[in-house]
Structure 1
């Protein structure tokens, strides 16, 4: 995998260019088509009894809200995926421009991580979990790990990218020349 996207080297490219967009896009058809909105709704909080039957029907308002959530997942996944690909193609020989575009996108994602995912997704998922499985991460399902484990991990990796961990900085963290205005 040659890296013309110098702003996202190695693991950062794997995570932000491939895995994160896939993790955002894949739930959309799962909600819309199969296994469906009811399945997704019931997976939000794993039942302490794995043989507990999930209801097959949802209130129509809940179904519509979940389909809209699927739309949001798809939108976020496509935006991130396409913006990074355009930055790679359009600015192949301009790592400063690449980093500014990647950084702006990661800033927006980090703000959403902090304000929406961390406060709403992670905390509400933890609070909503039954006490018998709240701290037993081995009893969590994929949706629970996505809401808590994966979003926390991705947020930490975003912070590491901004701190320059494991990568060369081209724009963020660079000293900028001071412009002197003459009167």
Structure 2
């Protein structure tokens, strides 16, 4: 069955991309009049962890797993800035997923073709980011850990394993797996494609 309000993003895809990927808990922005919905913030959690507790040094040391925990020494200014900027990227990705998907749903509720084209544009960008994130994380953990997933910590599994899962689901969306297509590969849509 197609979602009446958001036919371009239904079922598991809607659950994953609209709620789970950017959310674990909700921060209501109604009082700020920024959203009529709740802001979902799980992709944004690393930003909060970096800026507050356990902090930038903890996050920095979690990026590459070690058999013994290293002492959490304060980072030099350059390392701290780089980790803060990484946290800002997490925050940006979470906000984009949260706000843009809801804006598409609310702005063009009766145009599934346009919805799908806009959702596809965002998912394409996120899929490219997934691949570069997987590649750089895999390359960065070093030869000793690269092929030993059992030795990875939660941060490494998040950066590689979970990001691979997200990429595969995004690719499945483009292939039309378990969803109705309206723009990408939809039947008879070549003459009806709208220019944006």
Q: 1:16: how far off?
A: 0.8
Instruction: Report the counterpart of residue 74 of structure 1 in structure 2.
Output: 91
TM-score with structure 1 setting the length: 0.85
Report whether the alignment pairs 1:85 with 2:96: no
- Cα distance in 1 for residues equivalent to 2:87 and 2:164: 21
- 1:54–1:5 Cα change, 3 Å: farther
TM-score with structure 2 setting the length: 0.79
Q: 1:123: how far off?
A: 3.1
RMSD over aligned CA atoms reads: 1.9
| Equivalent residue for 2:49, pick from 12, 16, 30 | 30
By percentage of residues, which structure has more helix? 1
1:146 aligned counterpart, secondary structure? helix
Instruction: Report the counterpart of residue 53 of structure 1 in structure 2.
Output: 70
Report whether the alignment pairs 1:120 with 2:132: no
The aligned length equals: 170
1:164-179 matches, cutoff 5 A: 164-174=176-186, 175-177=189-191
1:21 aligned counterpart, secondary structure? coil
2:67 aligned counterpart, secondary structure? coil
Report whether the alignment pairs 1:163 with 2:179: no
| Equivalent residue for 1:139, pick from 139, 147, 151 | 151
Q: 1:121: how far off?
A: 2.2
Deviation per CA, 1:12-55, whole angstroms, max 9, x where unpaired?
Answer: 11111122223421110101111100000001112113xx3332
The unaligned stretches of length 5 or more in structure 1 are: 179-183
Range that drifts further, 25-34 or 13-22? 13-22
The unaligned stretches of length 5 or more in structure 2 are: 24-41
Instruction: Report the counterpart of residue 29 of structure 2 in structure 1.
Output: none
Report whether the alignment pairs 1:16 with 2:32: no
Instruction: Report the counterpart of residue 44 of structure 1 in structure 2.
Output: 63
Bigger RCO of structures 1 and 2 (CA < 8 A, at least 6 apart): 1
